[in-house]
Every structure is written in C-alpha cells, then in structure tokens.
Structure 1
Amino acid sequence: MTQDCSYNELYALQVLDDSMEPEFPVKCIIVIEPSEVCASGAYVIITVDGERLFRQWVRDADGRVRLNALNPQYPSIELAGTNHKIEGVIVQRNIRRKIKHYKPYEENNGLAS
C-alpha cells in the first residue's frame, strides 16, 4: 500500500469576502497548512455544521472557543454544540506580492512575523 503525503502539503486560497478585513482584504491570497490543531488567536479554515469558514480561533480563559471575524459587521460564532473541524491554519498572506507570515501554533497569533 502506498501512502500519499499530499494531505500535508500547503495550499493557497483567495479571500472572497470582507469578513476578515482589514488584515485579509478581498482577493488577497492566503496559504494554509493542513492541521486540525492551533493556538488561540490563529487564523483557520474550519467547517462548522457543514459551512466552510475563514475566521480567527479564540479560546477564552474559561476554555470556551469561538470564531471571530475581524470585520465587526460579522458576528462571532460560539463553537459549543456545533459539529466543527479545523481543516487548516493560515501561515501566510500575500497582498500584491507583499508577504506576511503567521505562527498558528503560538498564542496571540495576531502579531506574527
């Protein structure tokens, strides 16, 4: 039996809405590392009750987890009682060839190198 390692390969997506502005503007490219784990503050691609979302994963002091959009026009999503799975974590953003890297496994990810 051969094993396919492609499930571990980075992949890119284009942001199609304004829910994560201003950090991730419409049409910017994000690079995702497939993973089912992340630190609080990481940006993730996640499926929640069958809907695929791009949001910030936040765990509060009580251990409750929610997904935040950076654009205040979008509500936070509490994950308690949902069927959800992290598909991957954002490790890079590209806006017109300007690249920014993120550290998805360190707390308070918003201030990445």
Structure 2
Amino acid sequence: MQHPQSLAFAPTLTLPVAPEVAQCGFPSPAQDYPTEELDLTARLIRDRVATYIWKAAGHSMEPVVPDGSMLIVDRGIAPAPGRIVVAIVDGEYTVKRLHVDNDGRVTLQAENPEYPDIELPELSEMTIWGVVTYIISPAT
C-alpha cells in the first residue's frame, strides 16, 4: 500500500483575487484586474507536514464528494463523529462520514442512499487515516 505524499515541501500557491464579488443572481459589471493575491496554501492547509491530497473515486459519497474530487486530508486532526474521514477497513482505504452511536459502535456512513454504510463487526480492523478538511470538486 502506497501513501500519498505530504504537502510539507510543496510550493506555496497564490492566485490573484478579483476585485469584485461574482453575483450568483443578477450579474454585476467587474473590473478587469485583480487587486490582491490569495495564498491558497495558508487558507486551506493547517499543517503542511500532516496534510495530504487524495483523489476521490466512486459514487458512495455523492453529492457531498463527487467522483474525481480532490480531498485535502489532515492527519493531525482528531477524528470526530460527523466528520468525513479517510479510513482503512481491513486493509482497504475508504472515504465515509464517521458515526459513533451511544454504545460506542462505529459506522462509516455513505452520503449516497444507494450505497450501504459500513458497520464494523467486532473483529474488523479499522483505522482513521485522516480527516477531510476540504473537498475540491470538479466543475459540472
């Protein structure tokens, strides 16, 4: 099993920010030049050493995580119920929403109702690899 590379040594990414907002309703005329830059690395990554990019494949987490999305995953964040996580279940990676019931039983929940949740039997081996902090979805 090969793990993705850490973003620890990745270059900083800054992009120009348009001087106006983009209206989702009635359009507003905007200027043709940016006035500032946004450092996406500083905005999206809490800890570069603990942060990885994963590519999502499949449809079990749609519409929250569309197939082909890029996931920013932080290994330094403690997993908590309700968070989307990358988990290893019996040696296989999966992306699901973490649920823990009152009895302490763990379920990895699919967002798409056409896919079953993963209820962990007592002898299953499960590790939370990291917590998804951002989802970069492909444009539709």
Q: Given the two structures, how large is their TM-score scaled by the length of structure 2?
A: 0.59
Are 1:68 and 1:77, in contact at CA under 8 Å, matched by a contact in 2? yes
Deviation, 1:73, is 1.5
Query: How many angstroms does 1:96 deviate by?
Result: 4.3
Offset of 1:37 from its aligned partner?
Answer: 3.5
Given residue 23 of structure 1, which amino acid in structure 2 is its aligned partner? Answer: V
Q: From 87, 99, 103, give the equivalent of 1:58.
A: 99
Question: Radius of gyration: which is bigger?
Answer: 2
Partner of 2:126: 84
Q: By percentage of residues, which structure has more strand?
A: 1
Gaps of 5+ in 1: 1-5, 98-113
RMSD of Structure 2 on Structure 1 (CA): 2.0
Alignment correspondent of 1:23: 64
> In structure 1, what is the Cα distance between the partners aligned to 2:117 and 2:138?
29
Distance 1:17 1:95 in 2: 13
Higher normalized contact order (CA 8 Å, seq sep 6+, divided by chain length)? 1
**TM-score (normalised: structure 1):** 0.72
**Partner AA of 1:77 in structure 2:** I
Q: Which amino acid aligns with 1:38?
A: P
Q: Which runs of 5+ in 2 are unaligned?
A: 1-7, 9-47
Tell me which residue corresponds to 1:10: 51
Deviating 4+ runs (over 6 angstroms)? none
**Cα shift readout 1:32-89 (whole Å, capped 9, x = no counterpart):** 0014831101111111111111111101122211000101121111224211111100
Sort the Cα spacing of 1:64 and 1:25 in 2 relative to 1 into closer, same or farther, 3 A.
same
> Separation in 2 of the partners of 1:95 and 1:19?
15
* Match runs of 1:37-76 below 5 Å: 37-76=78-117
Aligned to 2:135: 93
